[in-house]
Amino acid sequence: MAISFRNSVGLYESALKLRSARAEILAGNLANADTPGYQARDFNFADALKNQMNNSPAGDELRLTQPMHQGGLDGAGGGAMDVQFRTPTQPSLDGNTVEEQVEHAEFMQNSLEYQTSFTLLNSRFRGLMSAIKGE
């Protein structure tokens, strides 16, 4: 039986991509914590991962052929994430809906989960490596 790299790596690759996209969005929220009228945004990770896994056909990913074209947020499949505005628990007077403690907690959790996905992906590679070497 041939070793399928794609099948063994698949989920974690998508997870890492989405985790880094989410880190970016949360970083934007934190940077705009004092911008009047800014609305905090986020996406549902579980749904996005499900979309990503269902939509991306094995091996074929959308490629940018022109630098002026818009790329998908996650660089593959596009539109896997449904970015939405967060509902604040304590909206502020200036219309800003960023709650720093919430965003901070989400960001930290996200980066820990990124490291988790990374560790799992890495151990997959190690597993493949030892299968190839046959040690």
Partner 1 sequence: MGLTTIFDIAGSGMNAQSLRLNTTASNIANAETASSSASKTYRGRHPVFAASFPQMLGQPDNANAMDAPPESLGVAVKGIVESDAPLQPRYEPENPLADEQGYVYYPNVNVVEEMTNMISASRSYQVNVEVANAAKQMVQKILTLGQ
Under the rule (CB under 8 A), what is the footprint of partner 1?
Answer: 16, 20-21, 23-25, 27-28, 30-39, 41, 71, 73-75, 83-85, 100, 104, 107-108, 111, 114-115, 118, 121-122, 125, 129
CB of 56 to partner 1, least distance (A): 16
Rounded to the nearest angstrom, the gap between the alpha carbon of residue 21 and the centroid of all alpha carbons in its chain is 4
CB of 58 to partner 1, least distance (A): 21
Residue 45 or residue 118: which is nearer to partner 1 going by CB? Answer: 118
Between CA 24 and CA 99 the distance in angstroms is 16
Residue 49 or residue 106: which is nearer to partner 1 going by CB? Answer: 106
Residue 42 β-bridge partners: 84
CB of 74 to partner 1, least distance (A): 8
- DSSP symbols for 63-98: --SSTTSPPPTTSSSS--S--EEPPPSS--TTS---
CB of 69 to partner 1, least distance (A): 13
Cβ-contact 56, 3 below 8 angstroms: no
Taken as a whole, the chain contains a residue count of: 135
